[in-house]
Amino acid sequence: MVLIFRYGPRPAFIFKTVCSLRPVKTHSFAFLSLKTLSTMSAGAAKQDNKDLAPIFKWASNDGEFRRQDSSFRGVVSREPNATFRAEPGRYHLYVSWACPWAHRTVIVRALKGLEDVIGLSVVHYLLGDGGWRFDLPGEKTPGVVPDTVNEAQYLRELYFKADPEYSGRYTVPVLWDKKHGTIVNNESSEIIRILNTAFDEWSTAPGVTYYPKDLASQIDEVNTWVYDQINNGVYKAGFATSQTAYESNYAKVFDGLARVESLLANRKWLVGDRFTEADIRLWTTIVRFDPVYHTHFKCNGGTITHDYPNILRWARQVYQTPKIKETVNMMHIKRHYYMSHIQINPYRIVPEWDGPDLDIKV
């Protein structure tokens, strides 16, 4: 049986119960048909790698993973004539509990007390043929929060609504403007700064900032190398398709972790004496490191639990900060990585361990 779903000029997505993995191409946009993943051998995955469509082809031809730039870079402002003016109830945040980049935005939204100011929708943990989606009819997946704004089934619908000619990836997070019916921003590093300041008038923590001016240059400096070596570094190691690319990026990950471990030897937080954006940005990777990146992305040179005592202490401090624990959904995290990346884990087996016990008091 073959079901074809078409959204006007959108790509058609063909789903077969058992089929060869072949790209389906319509309107110059290619995606993969869905194969019965439990029957796909590692050898078959390797054979089909050359045909992987954009949504699953993570590495370039030289074996290196290169992250695409975000396409929507609008700013929410309190200025009266701003295109995206700060208003309560006007904006909506689309996230995945699994995604470390989206996780940043959920944390800042919670810390700033914006839960009643900015709405939230959460996609399903499985990243399939059509990209991120919400629950299908009949599904009631714990943690999924449906789209009550656009009633979208797939996140891609928002991207095409914002730009009918859009040809990039359909990523989370997405900050959506309900007034103009468009995407404001899909770059997590910019969204967290928007949430940090733009809505202070309605925040339950007005004046609290995670990007203080007196530490801004230091935060930027830490963010730069943490992103390259650790945040994105684990992906560059995990999605590498050549031994050379893997080994190079693997080394950078552990160089970065060693640098953080040393930095935290004599201080509580990464920058100055305060909990800042730099801590948030690193922490969403660290909380995923032992249960996911160590195994799934082959970053197996050490664990946070056993080899990085300063990072572990710091990770517990962050986790025990009010409101942060509630933003962690380990079921979504583990199932997303181990069940979505079939080129890495074709049998979709999800390991048991959730990583270190972060509830231990420090």
**Residues carrying an active site annotation:** 99, 235
In whole angstroms, give the CA distance from residue 311 to residue 28: 46
132 marked as part of a ligand binding site: yes
176 marked as part of a ligand binding site: no
Kindly state the tokens that stand for 10.
């959108």
169 marked as part of a ligand binding site: yes
187 marked as part of a ligand binding site: yes
Closest CA to 130 of 56, 69, 19, 188: 56
70 marked as part of a ligand binding site: no
267 marked as part of a ligand binding site: no
170 marked as part of a ligand binding site: yes
Q: Residues annotated in the binding site for glutathione, as ranges?
A: 132, 169-172, 187-188
Q: Residues annotated in the binding site, as ranges?
A: 132, 169-172, 187-188
